Structure 1
């Protein structure tokens, strides 16, 4: 291309017109000659006192910052703190917000959702024991058809904490693709707390009993209430 530009520049300095330059290049190079519009554009450039025949540097699309190093860095930030925000990730890496969103949603395929509150964090063994007990009770009382089931009551005790609850935004965490939704057991720092025991029967809630201070929940306590 620069060879043709040099020829166009030579014809321009000789004082030839655009059409004369077009005709000379076409007669010499045939179909390989530059297009008419290209020759006219370069004549306009030379009229503006341009002498550089190479392409001028120009700003193109910036190189993407979604490189493996940044992707690994974002993954590490999420693993360290599932509550980390877009702004904190951007401040740590020093890249644009569009790049942060691309890494999170396209490369890591993570999403930010609220944790589901649960009263207790049971182990697998504890869950199986509860399921087995329920199956035995259903079988024993003919799946609820027996009136004896009305004589069954169950209860459980739990600490009730006084604390400032998190907002929905504060409780959101990053979750990777194909991972279960998060849960949390509320155990926030509290200025006060009260032990309560709730009892339920077949018809629903029966009673809620607060525990006296310094009293221990055991079998003896259950037989006295």
Structure 2
């Protein structure tokens, strides 16, 4: 019988641990969609070790991308930033005049048949009464694009896009002409004072 200690694996040093964590972080920053199995292959660590490093030490989690209307190019972001600064300057000069001259618009699809949602169909009942039943109905295939233009005093103009047409710069030019006529009738003196149109849509040129 031997009285000497048998060789055994030692607890990894703190320096090695820091280097391992940095390597895992580097792999993730290189590819944000990298899987734990790929990290295991690159580092030689177990699944549990990689999971603990990601969540307990790097404090990272995997999330889905958030949907946005559009992704702007760097030049578009700079332009929007500059326009926003100009709007803030005008607001600080005269808040009442700023909102009084501001006109904005938005579009939305209007379905020919838009059924009530499940939340809207809720009814009150006794605990012993059976719940109501409702057949599932889909939105109609037919729909029309509605454009609404308004200011702080209310709606100025509504316009429905003709069937089989698309929103183009020519459509916006026609819409601006309709807006001019509507302002003359519903907001007297506003054209003379000056209108600031706030619309993030197709260019009218």
Q: Judge same fold: TM > 0.5, yes or no.
A: no
Q: Greater share of helix residues, 1 or 2?
A: 1
TM-score computed with the length of structure 2 as normaliser: 0.43
Q: Which has the larger radius of gyration?
A: 1
TM-score computed with the length of structure 1 as normaliser: 0.40
